[in-house]
Structures are given as C-alpha cells and as structure tokens.
Structure 1
C-alpha cells in the first residue's frame, strides 16, 4: 500500500484505532491499534467492505460515510464492529474527510 505509506507511518504511532476508508465503503488501510482491536492483520482488513466488519445496517454505514466525506471536522457516530462471530462491540467513533476529493468526486474518510 505505498500510496498510504505516509498515513500509515503517522497512524501506526498513535494508540487509538484509525481506519482509512473509501467513500464507497472499502477499508484502504488501518493502523496497528485498529488491527489489534479487530483481531486481524492490517493486510487482512485492507480492501474489505465495511459491511463485513460492521453490524450497523448498510444504509446507515453509507450515510455516515457520505456525511464524513463532506467535512474535515470530526462528526460522531456509533459503529458496532464484529470482532468475533459471536461478539459485537460498539465503538463511539468520529469520521472526517482525509485529503482532497478524488477525480471521480469520491473522498477518503478517516474513522477514529
């Protein structure tokens, strides 16, 4: 994931879980803390749809992503991550746009 190496270097140094997600809803990369919380490697999480990792209804997930993609100011949400097949864990999160908007009009979103 060389295009995310700068983000990865900064994010891996932080103790809080961080995910870089496309506005379309795919994980682009996560830091070590997020991988540890989810019990998977960063490589295993990359390019997976959020709907596989989060138990919230897909429409709600995509609504959060659309709202977060429009601002650099963190907006709150509660996401229920599927940490194991039987366990759900609610995370109070904030999301915001990372960088500029891509050519197709899509943005990347950081979830923390």
Structure 2
C-alpha cells in the first residue's frame, strides 16, 4: 500500500511535459517571428549571453536585418573584450523562437 502512495506522489511531482502533455504545449509561450526586425533583440540577447556565460564583457551591438524569401536574417556585430565578433541569426518567417539559429564568428577562437 505504501508503495502505491509513493508511486502516486512521484508521478504528481513530475514536470507537466513528462505526464503525457503534448510536446508543443511546452513551447506555447515562445515568440513567433514574422518580421526580421523582431529577430534583432533575440539575436543580441543570445550573443551577449554566450559571452557573458564565458565571463567576458560585451559592449556595443550593431546590426542590420533583412528578409530573403521566407527566411528572416540578422547580421550583427558585438564588441567583446576589445574584439569585433560577427553574429548571424536566422529563422523561417512564422517559426517559433526555439527554431532560431545563431552563428558566432569569433576570430579569437
């Protein structure tokens, strides 16, 4: 009897996604990008987080954005510890944030 109670308690403590809720519901709060300009803040934040996570200081951010077909692009540059680092982000129009990609071109690496 105690074993059944323990199993029930463990099942109740599992995250919602682990209890059989469809995977898409987990990402219901992701942003959906329709315009390239909407991708700019995401791209900047992700690039800064990459370097801050490594203990490096970031400075200026500059960028431009454009659409090419159904793909949204951001070409950015971030100043990190005195070096200019190229950043390219892209995502399909109408896609959720989880599908965005970022490429960082760090000449120091």
Q: Identify whether the pair has TM-score above 0.5, normalized to the shorter chain.
A: no
**Larger Rg: 1 or 2?**
2
- Give the TM-score normalised by the residue count of structure 2: 0.31
